[in-house]
Amino acid sequence: MARRSRQREIDEADVEVGAPQDHAAGPTAVAVSMKRAIGHMGVKRTAQTLLRLNQADGFDCQGCAWPDPSPDHRHTAEFCENGAKAVADEATRDLIGREFFAQHPVAELAEHTDYWLNQQGRITEPMVLRAGGTHYEPITWGDAFATIGRHLTAIEPDQAVFYTSGKTSNEAAFLYQLFARAYGTNNLPDCSNMCHESTSVGLAEVIGIGKGSVSLEDVHRAELIVILGQNPGTNHPRMLSALEEAKGNGARIVAVNPLKEAGLVRFKNPQNVRGVVGHGTGLADRYLQIRSNGDLALLQALGALLIERGAVDRDFVERHTTGFEEYAAALADLDWDKVLRSTGLTRAEIEDTADLLAASERTVFCWAMGITQHHNAVATVKEIANLAFLQGNIGKPGAGLCPVRGHSNVQGDRTMGIWERPPGHFLDSLQRELGFDPPREHGYDAVAAIRALRDGDAKVFIGMGGNFVSAAPDTSVTEEAMRAADLTVHVSTKLNRSHVVHGREALILPALGRSERDLTGGRVQRVSVEDSMSAVHTSHGPLKPASPYLRSEVDIVCSIAEATLGQGHHLPWAAYRADYAEVRRTIAKVVPGCASYDEKASQPGGFVLPHPPRDTRTFPTKLDKAIFTVSPVEVLEVPPGKLVLQTIRSHDQFNTTIYGLSDRYRGIENGRRVIFLHPDDITALGFAEGDLVDIISEWEDGSVRQVPTFRVVSYDQPRGCAAAYYPETNPLIALDHTAEGSNQPAYKSIIVRLTPSDGGSTGVVSTLASTYTRGDEAKRTVEPDQLS
Ligand SMILES: Nc1nc2c(c(=O)[nH]1)N[C@H]1C(S)=C(S)[C@@H](COP(=O)(O)OP(=O)(O)OC[C@H]3O[C@@H](n4cnc5c(=O)[nH]c(N)nc54)[C@H](O)[C@@H]3O)O[C@H]1N2
Ligand SMILES: Nc1nc2c(c(=O)[nH]1)N[C@H]1C(S)=C(S)[C@@H](COP(=O)(O)OP(=O)(O)OC[C@H]3O[C@@H](n4cnc5c(=O)[nH]c(N)nc54)[C@H](O)[C@@H]3O)O[C@H]1N2
Ligand code: SF4
Ligand SMILES: [Mo]
């Protein structure tokens, strides 16, 4: 098969808009997986990797956090199109080393999109950008670690920021937080701060643990599955197999989503005949096309109707909960007019959903970013919990709370202590077992880290994976913050924008990926991960590494620790590096629920971490009960002429890694700068389908943000709502626009207006061009050529 060109940029003039599809997967998904895999890896590596993916003795998919079936239920091909894309992207034979960086000045790289940067291939050796330098140059690992050590010992520990993305293994994550705390700071922001932080905060308050309460088996056995604010066909594709199985067992599904998403409508399972040649399985029995951010009102209305109909599990409520009286009293006064305005649904639709709930003995509630990325997200998460408590849908088979996590190990990283607000008992246990006094003050989360860097309060940024610059909100402000740092360090597999928007000095440290054999310390090392349902298991990659100079994340953390804390430091960094089982033995002593961690994680299928509400209906909250809460319904008012914009993923990206330009379920090919609108809004705003517009957001402090040249596309969604892809739209989101209580960026509700695009540029549009005007400053236009 022909090798792909690595020189493609996005030419938005090529965008094709077709009809959205009415189903997900089917044979196309298999064809796309194979084409991408073979194109990147060739036939042999494709066979070597895909057959080991998600197998009991293989490696864990580095895509999303959806769990694997138990070992005796696994198929030979236990992966989805996006898993195959994730593997192909990592295991690509395209490589970049010193010659590449010598040919391309950083200023030139900064003009490219994340799409182009990622295509260049795997980074093969450590690189440094010296102060005032124009190009990245090679550096030895030893000198790279010494550079980090020199910077970290020259500043106060709280002036350093240690970011983590969610692919990092439990072993590397545990050591990373251990190092940061031994060094002296809790500045451990992570991608979770931008992802399910609202879930973690909300659930911790009302059930006593910030994690979901279901197993895969529960999903299969549910009578009713409510899926709010999630697009599983693209982002958790194997969840569709679980939904199909549940349907086979008689389950009903209610989808709550402003956008009509193909993956919620119908699934053609490529692993069975019906999926390949038949119509597949219809998924959602009810599709509630809710107005953006109407979920809290919907959930309260459902609660009110259930109480009215007496569909309440009195025994559960009495034994296990507190606050029911206040909750019921508040709902008795529910303002239905507000509910209908907030949700945009009819009373009949809501009544009908209440009927389904009332009739179900076992309901699972699933949710993702459509819930967590709003200003009142914590309240909405707690409202989901209220509804579950009402019918006792927690801690019984076939029922429960199922926040579906994003990155493959984001939940594990948190379990291992990647958290800027660590609980006291975790720090006590570090202190007791490892003999040092960890800092107690809370550290910076992602948004606070940006402010600290911008304001000069932080000087060094270290990213364990991820692409912080593109993932964070308020791109111009984030870029300004990164440029103000003395040193930025990225432990990475592929090139991305965070490498080219850098501090005074910058390092790129190339790491082994999940698919690669890790022979650190001269032995085959395994790592462990935790999925969205708290199941932990080990993983080891089959492939020869992309380059002999790559190091594992564990090795990199241990080496940074030695270079910073000194060789004589009392923690056994060399022993941790030599044998990851040693790390697991330390995890066993420190992390709650991890006794005999090494043995349990290594057994086939691994083990499931304890979860008191799920296991025994005990709720370790401050009141020792599940807590009903009361939150105000607010209608997200959209002023005339404006829209509420949500920022979403296409079918061909993993977060800021843009694999390709096909969002085929939504009918978009070969381009990304589109804005989806209701057809009547297009007309009402004076535009026509296909027009080019600039998107503008205006904020209370007088600041204005703008991204140019998006093509208007009509899409089935409620009036007043709009959607466009991330990260192109991140420049629009003010840094302060975050969820109450979790400080998570409210990426899904941005009030915007559109103006005709004067640029008229239908050709290559850099993702970078954006305008940012501060309330207190003259208009400042940021163009790509001014960026370095
Ligand atoms: N292929 C692929 N897989 C991925 C990722 C990827 O980028 N690509 N990313 C991974 C990560 S880190 C994450 S966090 C997950 C994200 O998984 P998702 O949360 O499914 O991702 P989004 O694209 O943000 O989609 C959000 C969905 O919520 C809906 N929505 C938006 N606002 C509202 C609202 O107010 N109410 C309701 N009810 N719905 C709303 C949107 O229409 C959309 O369908 O996926 C993970 N898996
Ligand atoms: N507007 C908007 N913004 C959003 C969101 C949204 O919905 N809308 N979603 C938010 C969410 S949910 C999340 S989780 C964040 C994601 O934020 P991040 O996790 O920071 O971003 P990613 O794009 O997943 O990171 C990709 C980079 O990770 C590196 N990488 C990949 N694999 C490995 C590995 O195995 N090891 C190492 N060391 N590096 C690796 C590669 O260099 C790659 O370029 O974005 C957030 N930003
Ligand atoms: S559903 Fe997620 S974890 Fe499973 S194969 Fe697909 S991308 Fe990988
Ligand atoms: Mo995420």
Residue 211: give its domain's CATH number: 3.40.228.10
Count of beta carbons in the 10 Å neighbourhood of residue 431: 15
Instruction: Give the nearest ligand 1 atom to 86 CA.
Output: 1
One domain for residues 140 and 181 = yes
80 contact partners, CB below 8 Å, separation of at least 6: 25, 29, 33, 63, 237, 238
Q: Answer whether residue 628 is part of any domain.
A: no
> Rounded to the nearest whole angstrom, what is the distance from the C-alpha of residue 166 to the centroid of ligand 4?
8
Residue 494 near ligand 1, beta carbon < 6 Å? no
- For the stretch 399-409, pLDDT in tens is 999 999 999 99
Q: Are residues 207 and 173 in the same domain?
A: no
Residue 482 within any structural domain of the chain? yes
- The pLDDT of residue 51 is 82
pLDDT value for 731? 98
Clarify whether residues 131 and 255 are in a common domain. no
- Domain boundary pick from 63, 90, 117: 90
Q: Which residues of the chain have pLDDT under 50?
A: 1-3, 760-768, 776-788
Q: Cite the beta strand spans of 429-547 per DSSP E.
A: 460-464, 487-492, 505-510, 527-530, 535-539
Q: State whether 715 and 743 are in the same domain.
A: yes
Do 387 and 366 lie in one domain? The reply is yes
Phi and psi torsions of 3, nearest 5°: -75, 150
Which residues lie below 8 Å from residue 84, measured CB to CB, with a gap of 6+? 33, 34, 36, 37, 50, 53
Residue 630 in any domain: the answer is: no
**Is residue 336 located within the same domain as residue 359?**
yes
Is ligand 3 within 6 A of the CB of residue 36?
no
CA of 105 to the centre of ligand 2 (A): 24
- What is the Cα–Cα distance from 579 to 559, expressed in whole angstroms? 14
Q: Let me know whether 559 and 665 are in one domain.
A: no
Q: Is the CB of 263 under 6 A from ligand 3?
A: no
Identify whether 552 is part of a domain: yes
Task: Give residue 733's domain range.
Answer: 643-774
Residue matched to tokens 């033995």: 585
122 lines ligand 2 (CB under 6 A): no
Asked, for residue 702, whether it belongs to a domain, the answer is yes
* Nearest residue to 727 via CA among 655, 643, 671, 645: 655
| Domain shared by 220 and 301, yes or no | yes
Structural domain count, the chain = 4
User: CA 431 to CA 425: how far, in whole Å?
Assistant: 10
For ligand 3, whether the C-beta of 64 sits within 6 Å is yes
Closest ligand 2 atom to the C-alpha of 656? 23
The set of residues, in sequence order, having a beta carbon less than 8 Å from that of 21 and lying 6+ positions away, is 262, 664, 665, 667
Q: Which is the closest atom of ligand 3 to the Cα of 86?
A: 7
Ligand 1 atom closest to residue 288's alpha carbon, by position in its atom list: 38
Answer yes or no: do 41 and 125 share one domain.
no
Q: Residue 191 Cα, ligand 2 centroid: separation in angstroms? A: 7
Distance 656 CA to ligand 2 centre (A): 6
365, 384 contact by CB (below 8 A): yes
* 372 shares a domain with 414: no
User: For residue 523, how many other CB atoms are within 10 A of its CB?
Assistant: 12
Q: Residue 432 and residue 437: Cα distance in Å, rounded?
A: 9
- How far is Cα 505 from Cα 522, in angstroms, rounded to an integer? 33
CA 465, CA 409: separation in Å to the nearest integer? Answer: 12
Please provide the DSSP assignment of 66-109 as one string.
PPPPPGGG--SS---HHHHHHHHHHS-S-EE-HHHHHHS-HHHH
Rounded-to-integer distance, Cα 407 and Cα 148, Å: 27
Res 170: pLDDT: 98
- The owner of tokens 């967590």 is 372
Residue to substitute in 468, 649, 678, 744 for testing ligand 1 pocket (most ligand atoms within 8 angstroms of CB): 649
- Same domain for 481 and 371: no
Select from 96, 189, 154 the least CA-distant residue to 478: 189
Query: How far is Cα of residue 640 from the mean position of the Cα atoms in its chain?
Result: 32
Ligand 4 center from residue 356 Cα (angstroms): 30
Ligand 1 atom closest to 748 (CA): 32
- Beta-bridged to residue 142, according to DSSP, are none
The CA distance from 360 to 317, in Å, is 17
Residues 231 and 255 in one domain: yes
- The dihedrals phi and psi of 719, each to the nearest 5 degrees, come to -65, 145
* Residue 25 CB less than 6 A away from ligand 3: no
Q: Which residue puts its alpha carbon closest to atom 8 of ligand 3? A: 83
Domain boundary among 347, 372, 403: 403
Beta carbons of 538 and 526 less than 8 angstroms apart: yes
| 195 in contact with ligand 2, CB cutoff 6 A | yes
Q: What is the model's pLDDT at position 70?
A: 80
Whether 159 contacts 459, CB under 8 Å: yes
Three-state SS across 607-649?
A: EECCCHHHHHCCCCCCCCCEECCCCCCCCCCCCCCCEEEEEEC
Q: How far is the CA of 78 from the centre of ligand 3 (A)?
A: 8
Q: Is residue 612 part of a domain?
A: no
Looking at residue 769, its pLDDT comes to: 56
> Does residue 469's CB lie within 6 angstroms of at least one atom of ligand 2?
no
Q: Take atom 2 of ligand 3 and give the residue whose Cα is closest.
A: 64
257 lines ligand 1 (CB under 6 A): yes
CATH number where 443 lies: 3.40.50.740
The reply to whether ligand 3 has any atom less than 6 angstroms from the CB of 118 is no
Distance (Å, whole) CA 673 – CA 692 = 9
Judge whether 631 lies within some domain: no
Neighbours of 658 (CB within 10 A): 24
Separation between Cα atoms, residue 554 and residue 531, nearest integer Å: 20
Q: Is the CB of 80 under 6 A from ligand 3?
A: yes
Task: Give the pLDDT of residue 776.
Answer: 47
Helix (H, G, I), strand (E, B) or coil at 31: helix
407-417 pLDDT tens trace: 999 999 999 99
Is residue 50 lining ligand 3, measured as CB closer than 6 Å?
A: no
Among 362, 379, 403, where does a domain finish? 403
Rounded distance from Cα 165 to ligand 2 centre (Å): 6
Q: Is 330 helix (H, G, I), strand (E, B) or coil?
A: helix
Ligand 1 pocket test target in 64, 367, 374, 730 with most atoms within 8 Å of CB: 64
CATH number of the domain bearing residue 704 = 2.40.40.20
Q: Is the CB of 655 under 6 A from ligand 2?
A: yes
> Which amino acid is present at 575?
A
Instruction: For residue 616, tell me if it sits in a domain.
Output: no
Q: How far is CA 304 from the centre of its chain?
A: 33
Return the best residue to mutate from 61, 167, 405, 649 for the ligand 3 pocket (most ligand atoms within 8 A of CB).
Answer: 61
